[in-house]
A and B are shown apart, each in its own frame.
Chain A
Amino acid sequence: AQKITQTQPGMFVQEKEAVTLDCTYDTSDPSYGLFWYKQPSSGEMIFLIYQGSYDQQNATEGRYSLNFQKARKSANLVISASQLGDSAMYFCAMRETIGGKLIFGQGTELSVKP
């Protein structure tokens, strides 16, 4: 069965510094997608970045990059040059291509300090 694990309930980072949020996953499906979502206090889920299991290169979207290590089954999110507006909950999620259900980790609450 597929599973997502985020081991950091809370993280602090200084403004303008980089931060890495950890995510490990487990699946027996060779084809899957990995996602990171941001959830501010308003509750909406904001899509940040996507990595396909067959993608050769790590995904990047602006200040977000995904450090994909397939053999270790990890998909860490790196946020560069943190901003105060980055303070939020961050969720790692996985979707198997067949079946299509998106499952989520427990989340990491990121606080950016000025």
Chain B
Amino acid sequence: DGGITQSPKYLFRKEGQNVTLSCEQNLNHDAMYWYRQDPGQGLRLIYYSQIVNDFQKGDIAEGYSVSREKKESFPLTVTSAQKNPTAFYLCASSIVGTPYGYTFGSGTRLTVV
């Protein structure tokens, strides 16, 4: 079955460490996105990519980095520069140029300890 896989489901990080969240899709979607969700709040866009080897900053990109070396994969690195990284992270993908919505992964819950 086609879909988006995020791993791990739960992640714990010590302060000062970088950590990478995985996102893989087999839907043949061109575009991929990373969102951050804080408790009781909506989703905020971190980074997005509409084509391999290209990506753009979203609304809250500071302290994060991404790469898009393959169409299927869009990993997110939470760097030590991100001051408050504890949150729920959702990856999504979509077809470019259509008004239709996204397919979401099941999310990664990151906690700084």
Contacts and interface: CB of A to CB of B under 8 A. Distances in A.
Contacts, number: 61
B13 interface: no
Contact of A97 (B90, B97, B101): B97
Nearest to B107: A43
A41 B88 CA distance: 12
Given A101-B48, A102-B33, A105-B42, A31 B109 contact: no
Interface of B: 31, 33, 35, 40-45, 48, 50, 58, 88, 90, 92, 94, 96-102, 104, 106-107, 109
Interface stretch (A45-53, A56-64, A80-88): A45-53
A97 B99 contact: yes
Contacts of A100: 31, 50, 94, 96-97
A50 B101 contact: yes
B111 to A, nearest CB: 14
Interface in A9-45: 9, 31-33, 35, 37, 42-45
Interface residues of A, number: 27
Interface string A71-114: 00000000000000000000101010100111111110100000
Contacts of A47: 101
B74 to A, nearest CB: 15
